[in-house]
Structure 1
Amino acid sequence: MEYISTRGKVAGIGFIDAVLMGLADDGGLLVPKVIPQVSEDTLAKWQKLSYPELALEIFSLYIDGEIPRGELKKLVDDSYRTFRDKEVTPLRRIKQDLHVLELFHGPTFAFKDIALQFLGNLYSYISREKKSIIHILGATSGDTGASAIEGVRGKEGIKICILHPHGKVSKVQELQMTTVNDANVLNLSVDGNFDDCQRIIKELFADVAFKQEYHLRAINSINFARILAQIVYYFYAYFRLADQGAVAGGVNFSVPTGNFGDIFAGYLAKKMGLPVGKLILATNENNILERFVNEGVYQPGEFHMTYSPSMDIQVASNFERYLYYLNGEDAETVAALMDGFRKEGRIAVAGEELAQVQGDFASAAVENDDCLATIGQVHDDYGYLLDPHTACGVAATAQFTAKGEVTVALATAHPAKFNEAIELIQIEQTFPPQIKALFDKPQHQKLVSGSNDAVKDELLKFF
């Protein structure tokens, strides 16, 4: 399998080199040159597989023998045996036309574990095979950091530094990152918001000489391995509904979205041949993606802190991958659009292009009050407790699920990670013991200014 950049200046690299490169050296994002196609016969065979077995088949299409199958199977099995549910991503029926896909049964109670347990093991494998140092650099709006740290803590040959916006993640998210005291982990609390953290990361990776000298590797969803791991659960959810005979009217997926990675994985699953109906892009007040889908304008607006902080993002790092396919895989056009965005802070589409966007996605922005109301209503009516991000996804389904259709809302985190919001509607929840224990542990983090130089100084000391 060959990987290429969305901006056209990087091509002909394999899967492992694509994982190691993370952000393409020309500033673009790496995508497979050809999206593998899955036939109806293959879908029928895959329906019988367990989650790890299904992951092995899908991963194999994109890795194409570069990792021997036996080694890849071990990586997959090691990654998903850490999950608390044997199905890895169990599907729960809430009501007739709505199911919730629980993606939070991994070590840190967030959907990011599904990709980052695998990526952590993959990096460890690459480090051993290549006898190379791996320095991981990532930014988090809350969940990525803890999942990434959990995936690589204590592993030989790997160091990880995670940036998070100071005071703008939930307490549990902060504790999951900062109570880790392993020598190969550094937490930097950045004076700014997530977009500042993400900008610093992308600009440091864009400094190719610095990236190569210090062996920088990406853990954010700019790394295609993250997207690959997330494709699997769209297939798995569809198959579980097919087991129930519930796919005849069509299956929609509603995805709480900040960085566009999770829903882009669904987009790729659909392009591979999975019979997906609507892909519903749910945002909060930071609704740059909703405005793009509905109005054709991609332009950052005023930043809002919300009860769904992992979606408090204005600039979605995976959006460029979608632009590549929207523009007919024309890298020159994508490079020009991204250069224009850098200079003018705006991308606009209209006419046939906008019609294509609206054919690919539906979108709704869910405000704070509606988010809390949805949590309360689902809890009262069905006895099921949603976290605030999942609640945005559930609230969005009401606008787009037609009669006879079934919608799967992706449950991206356990509600215990966001008790600040749950308490506002007078719901008491029981914390899992792993989360409850965090409050008694000391924290380890360093506050830094939101500048490239400040972060670079800390990295040089750490590496």
Structure 2
Amino acid sequence: MRFISTRGNVGQIGFIDAFLMGLGNDGGLLVPAQIPVIEEATLKQWQNLTFQELMLEIFSYYTNGEIPEADLKQMVYASYGRFRDEEVTPVRKLKDGLFLLELFHGPTFAFKDIALQLMGELYSYVAKKDGRKIHILGATSGDTGASAIEGVKGKEGIKICILHPHQKVSKVQELQMTTVQEDNVLNLSVHGNFDDCQRIIKELFADVNYKTTNHLAAINSINFVRILAQTVYYFYAYFQLQKQGVSGKVDFSVPTGNFGDIFAGYLAKRMGLPVGKLILATNENNILERFVKEGIYKPGNFQSTYSPSMDIQVASNFERYLYYVLGENPEAVVSLMEGFKREGQIVVNGDTLRQVQEDFAAHGVVGEECLNTIRRYKEETGYLLDPHSACGVAAADQCEAGGVCVSLATAHPAKFDEAIRLCSIEQTFPEPIARLFDQPRRQIVVDGTQEAIVQELGRFFR
């Protein structure tokens, strides 16, 4: 397996080089040169594998043998040894035809742990093996930052800086990042929103000289390895349903802001997993819903919502999907992305829009619908959804096609008690979250400009 850029100007590179490059040096996103297709017979052989065993099988199609099997196995088992459920990502039945894929059993109680604990192990492995300096730079709307920091804090040869929008993440999300006292961790609280943070990150990675000189590495979902790790739980969920007597294709409802988690589902489907419809759940920042329904991708006015981790308008993984829906044509991708930079929108129609609507359904969960979904499911089933998972469930209900749907539960409700309290529901915090409130904090508040960020990075990365 080799990797190429969606914009066509990165030569075919190997797995570790793709992992370290993160964002393509031509400004595009890295994708596999060919998506491997898993034969039906192989899928049957995988049905009884553990989550860790399944991850090793799926990664074997992409790693080119660059990492010895024993080393990769050690990293995979180390990554999930601290998860609170032995199945790592268990499936729970919510009601007839609707299941929840619980992705919040990792150390920071969010789905980002699935990929970022492994990526932390991989970065540590590469740093030790090659004697490299690795400076991880990332932006977060809340969960990525805590998971990434948890994955690499205190590890030799690695420094990590995370940008988050000042006072636009939940209190628990902020505490999970800012109470870490390791010297290899820097938190920058940026005046602006997540899109501002993400834009600065992509600009710095696109400056190849700055990226190389400062040994930058990506932890956001611009890094393909993060997407690949997330495909595993789609396969694993499907196999768990088979054990419960479910047969045939399965729909997945995915709360998403940056298009990474749902793109992982799209990749799993392209690899041969029997996926029906991928349901894209957004909130008031519903640029992706409009694209699916109308073929127009155009940022509007940013809104802060009950589901802050989805408060994103410019989705960094959207370009990967464009590459495939445009027939793997990098020239067409470059044309659209340059047009987007110039005109502020992307428009598709005709056969392309029909293909988009064949791949996805979409529903924007606006205002009280999110809170009402939390209340209703708590009353009817006893299950407490966090606001992001509630968006996924609401979208699954709205787009119900009569089959079986798995909705992704992306975070523990304790991370978003602000929304839970608005539902007049009291919850008990898990002990690791409860103790955060008494710990000292470390963060620097900065202006939302590239110059201000670069100044702080210069001091930290030297």
Normalized against structure 1, the TM-score is what? 0.99
- Helix, strand or coil: the match of 1:4? strand
Residues in 2 aligned to 1:320 and 1:208: alpha-carbon distance in whole angstroms: 20
Q: Partner of 2:425 in structure 1?
A: 427
- Helix, strand or coil: the match of 1:447? strand
The residue correspondences of 1:369-408 to structure 2 (distance < 5 A) are 369-403=368-402, 405-408=403-406
The residue correspondences of 1:227-266 to structure 2 (distance < 5 A) are 227-248=227-248, 250-266=249-265
On the 8 A contact 1:285/1:306 being kept in 2, the answer is yes
The residue correspondences of 1:99-138 to structure 2 (distance < 5 A) are 99-138=99-138
On the 8 A contact 1:227/1:265 being kept in 2, the answer is yes
On the 8 A contact 2:363/2:399 being kept in 1, the answer is no
On the 8 A contact 1:2/1:11 being kept in 2, the answer is no
Distance apart, 1:64 and its partner CA: 2.2
Amino acid at match of 2:304: M
Amino acid at match of 1:381: E
Residues in 2 aligned to 1:348 and 1:332: alpha-carbon distance in whole angstroms: 16
The residue correspondences of 1:35-434 to structure 2 (distance < 5 A) are 35-248=35-248, 250-403=249-402, 405-434=403-432
On the 8 A contact 2:179/2:441 being kept in 1, the answer is yes
Amino acid at match of 1:255: V
Matched, 1:10 2:25: no
- Helix, strand or coil: the match of 1:63? coil
Amino acid at match of 2:291: F
Amino acid at match of 2:112: K
Residues in 2 aligned to 1:419 and 1:451: alpha-carbon distance in whole angstroms: 31
- Helix, strand or coil: the match of 1:323? helix
Residues in 2 aligned to 1:420 and 1:178: alpha-carbon distance in whole angstroms: 19
On the 8 A contact 1:247/1:406 being kept in 2, the answer is no
- Helix, strand or coil: the match of 2:252? strand
- Helix, strand or coil: the match of 2:62? helix
Per-residue CA distance 1:272-312 (angstroms, 9 max, x = gap): 00000110000000000000000000000010100000000
On the 8 A contact 1:326/1:353 being kept in 2, the answer is yes
Q: How many aligned residue pairs are there? A: 461
Distance apart, 1:265 and its partner CA: 0.3
CA-atom RMSD, angstroms?
A: 0.6
On the 8 A contact 1:4/1:10 being kept in 2, the answer is yes
On the 8 A contact 2:139/2:198 being kept in 1, the answer is yes
Residues in 2 aligned to 1:291 and 1:242: alpha-carbon distance in whole angstroms: 34
Residues in 2 aligned to 1:368 and 1:257: alpha-carbon distance in whole angstroms: 16
Distance apart, 1:66 and its partner CA: 1.1
- Helix, strand or coil: the match of 2:363? strand
On the 8 A contact 1:286/1:312 being kept in 2, the answer is yes
Per-residue CA distance 1:5-54 (angstroms, 9 max, x = gap): 00000021101000110000000000000001101110001011000000
Residues in 2 aligned to 1:391 and 1:11: alpha-carbon distance in whole angstroms: 42
- Helix, strand or coil: the match of 1:62? coil
Per-residue CA distance 1:309-357 (angstroms, 9 max, x = gap): 0000010000000000011100011011111111111000011110000
Per-residue CA distance 1:378-427 (angstroms, 9 max, x = gap): 00000000000000000001122222x11100000000000000000110
Per-residue CA distance 1:422-442 (angstroms, 9 max, x = gap): 000110111000000000011
Q: Partner of 1:453 in structure 2?
A: 451
Amino acid at match of 2:41: D
Amino acid at match of 1:303: F
- Helix, strand or coil: the match of 2:61? helix
Residues in 2 aligned to 1:326 and 1:366: alpha-carbon distance in whole angstroms: 25
Percent of paired sites with the same residue: 69
Per-residue CA distance 1:70-125 (angstroms, 9 max, x = gap): 11111111111111100000101011111000000000000000000000000000
Amino acid at match of 1:412: T
Residues in 2 aligned to 1:394 and 1:247: alpha-carbon distance in whole angstroms: 21
On the 8 A contact 2:18/2:224 being kept in 1, the answer is yes
